[in-house]
C-alpha cells in the first residue's frame, strides 16, 4: 500500500508513474488526498475538543476547592456539551478513515524508474539470454506425450479425482518432482536462506498484507466457511512471518525460502497455454524472500536475479531474462524480472520465475518496520522470487533432454534422482 505522504509530495509524478502501469483511475489519487484532508480536519477538531474537556475538568476542581460552586456548575455544563460532541466526531473519523483506507488499497505500487513503458508481454525488454537451445528432430515429442510414454504423470486421473489442472505424478514422475524440490531448497539454503514450511492456507489479513487482496480474489481458492485462502505462492505466508514486527539493523538481511504447493484458479486460461504442464490449478514451487533496508533493496534485487540465473545454468536449460513493462507487471511490484526457459519441442519460451522488488508497498500493509542507526522507525523493503516453479521446468527438462534411450537429466540432479536418466518401464 502506498503512503499518503508519497501521493502528496508529488501528485503529478505519482499519476505519471501510475500511467506506466496503465492504471485506469488516476482520479483516486485526488480522492485520497481529499479524504486525508478531511481526516486531519476531524482529528484536529477532536483533539481541540478533548483538550477543552481536559482543561475544563482541571479548572472545575480548582473552582470547587475555592468554593466557586456556581462557576464550576456552569463549566460542567460546557464540559458535558463538549463530551457529547466527541462521540459523533469519533464516528465521522472512523467512517473517513475506513473510506480512506478502502480507496488507498485500490492503488497499485508505483513502477520504478527502470520499468519500460508498454502494455503487453511483447513490450517486455530482453535483458540477456543464456544456455544453448537443443536441436531436436522434427518429430520431437512434447512433454504431455513424454509423460505418458514414461508413466510420469496421469492427467486423466487427476481430472477424475479433482478436475482439469490437477495432475497426478506417479513413479519416476513423483520422484523427479521430489528431487527438484530438494535440489532447489538445498541450493537456496546453501546461499544463506532460512528454510520454512508454512501453512498452505492463510487468513484474509495475510492475503491483504502481501497484496493478494483485494486485487486477486478471483484468482484464489477461498474456503468460505473459515474465511481461509489457499495460497497462490509461498510468498504469502512466509512474508507474513514478519507482519507487525519491528526489526533491528543487525537482523538484516532477512533471507527465507520455502517449498509449497500453489493454488490458482487461472480463470480465463485456454488454448495451447494450458496444455499439459503449461498452466495448472495446483503446482509446486520453491520461493525465496528477502527483507532489507530501503537503500539496499536494488542491490539485493540484482543478487536475487543472479541467484536464480545460476540455478537455471546448473540445470543446463536455455533461458532468457526479461524486464517487465508497466502493463505486464503485478499489482504490488515496483519492478519485476522474469526468467523464461526455452521449450524445444513446443518451440516457445515458458516463464519459470519472477523476481520482484516491492519496495515498501507490502511492508506498509504488513506494518513491518525497523529502527535505523538514528533510532528512527522506517518501513523495510520486501523482495521475492521463484527459485523455481516446477511444472514448466519439468516440461523443459523432459522435452529438451529426450533421446532414443530415455531422458538424460542434468548432472546436478543425478544424486537427488538416484540415476542419470528417466527410462521407460519404471
Annotated binding site for ATP: 264-266, 351-354
| 387, 257 contact by CB (below 8 A) | yes
In this structure, the number of other CB atoms found within 10 A of the CB of residue 119 comes to 12
SS3 288: strand
| 305, 381 contact by CB (below 8 A) | no
Distance from C-alpha of 124 to C-alpha of 116, rounded to nearest angstrom: 7
Phi then psi for 334, rounded to 5 degrees?
-90, -30
| 393, 180 contact by CB (below 8 A) | yes
Distance from C-alpha of 155 to C-alpha of 361, rounded to nearest angstrom: 39
Phi then psi for 270, rounded to 5 degrees?
-160, 170
Phi then psi for 341, rounded to 5 degrees?
-110, 155
Q: Which of 150, 195, 160 is nearest to 287 (CA)?
A: 195
Which residues define the annotated binding site?
A: 233, 264-266, 287, 351-354, 384
Q: Please give the full DSSP string across 133-145, using - where no structure is assigned.
A: -----TTPPPHHH
Helix (H) or strand (E) holding 368: strand 368-371
Which residues define the annotated binding site for L-serine?
A: 233, 264, 287, 384
Tell me which residue has cell 532414443.
404
In this structure, the number of other CB atoms found within 10 A of the CB of residue 32 comes to 22
Contacts of 112 (CB under 8 A, 6+ apart): 334, 335, 357, 359
Sign of the four-CA dihedral 228, 95, 53, 81: negative
Amino acid at each position: 500500500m502506498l503512503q499518503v505522504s508519497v501521493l502528496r509530495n508529488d501528485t503529478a509524478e505519482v499519476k505519471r508513474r501510475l500511467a506506466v502501469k496503465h492504471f485506469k483511475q488516476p482520479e483516486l489519487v485526488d480522492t485520497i488526498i481529499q479524504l486525508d484532508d478531511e481526516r486531519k480536519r476531524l482529528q484536529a477538531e477532536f483533539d481541540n475538543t478533548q483538550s477543552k474537556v481536559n482543561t475544563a475538568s482541571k479548572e472545575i476542581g480548582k473552582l470547587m476547592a475555592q468554593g466557586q460552586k456556581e462557576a464550576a456548575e456552569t463549566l460542567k455544563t460546557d464540559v458535558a456539551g463538549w463530551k457529547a460532541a466527541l462521540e459523533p466526531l469519533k464516528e465521522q473519523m472512523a467512517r473517513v478513515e475506513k473510506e480512506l483506507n478502502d480507496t488507498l488499497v485500490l492503488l497499485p505500487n508505483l513502477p520504478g524508474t527502470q520499468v519500460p513503458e508498454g502494455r503487453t508481454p511483447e513490450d517486455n525488454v530482453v535483458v540477456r539470454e543464456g544456455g544453448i537451445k537443443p536441436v531436436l528432430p522434427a518429430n520431437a515429442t512434447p512433454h504431455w506425450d513424454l509423460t505418458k510414454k514414461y508413466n510420469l504423470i496421469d492427467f486423466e486421473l487427476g481430472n477424475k479425482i479433482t478436475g482439469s489442472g490437477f495432475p497426478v505424478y506417479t513413479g519416476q514422475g513423483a520422484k523427479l518432482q521430489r528431487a527438484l524440490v530438494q535440489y532447489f531448497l538445498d541450493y537456496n539454503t546453501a546461499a544463506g536462506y532460512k528454510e520454512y514450511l508454512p501453512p498452505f492456507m492463510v487468513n484474509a489479513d495475510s492475503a491483504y498484507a502481501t497484496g493478494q487482496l483485494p486485487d486477486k480474489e478471483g484468482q484464489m481458492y477461498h474456503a468460505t466457511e473459515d474465511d481461509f485462502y489457499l495460497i497462490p505462492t509461498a510468498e504469502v505466508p512466509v512474508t507474513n512471518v514478519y507482519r507487525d514486527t519491528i526489526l533491528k539493523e543487525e537482523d538484516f538481511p532477512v533471507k527465507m525460502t520455502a517449498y509449497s504447493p500453489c493454488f490458482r484458479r487461472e480463470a480465463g486460461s485456454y488454448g495451447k497455454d494450458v496444455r499439459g504442464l503449461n498452466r495448472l490449478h495446483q503446482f509446486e514451487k520453491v520461493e525465496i524472500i528477502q527483507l532489507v533496508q530501503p537503500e539496499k533493496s536494488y542491490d539485493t534485487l540484482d543478487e536475487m536475479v543472479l541467484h536464480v540465473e545460476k540455478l537455471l545454468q546448473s540445470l543446463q536449460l536455455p533461458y532468457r531474462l526479461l524486464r517487465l513493462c508497466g502493463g505486464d507487471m503485478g499489482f504490488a511490484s515496483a519492478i519485476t524480472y522474469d526468467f523464461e526457459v526455452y521449450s524445444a519441442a513446443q518451440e516457445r519460451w515458458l516463464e519459470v520465475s519472477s523476481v520482484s522488488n516491492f519496495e515498501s508497498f507490502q511492508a506498509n500493509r504488513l506494518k513491518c518496520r525497523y529502527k535505523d542507526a538514528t533510532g528512527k522507525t522506517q518501513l523495510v523493503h520486501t523482495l521475492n522470487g521463484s527459485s523455481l516453479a516446477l511444472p514448466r521446468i519439468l516440461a523443459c527438462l523432459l522435452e529438451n533432454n529426450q533421446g532414443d534411450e530415455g531422458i538424460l537429466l542434468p548432472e546436478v540432479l543425478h544424486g537427488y534422482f538416484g540415476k542419470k536418466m528417466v527410462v521407460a518401464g519404471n
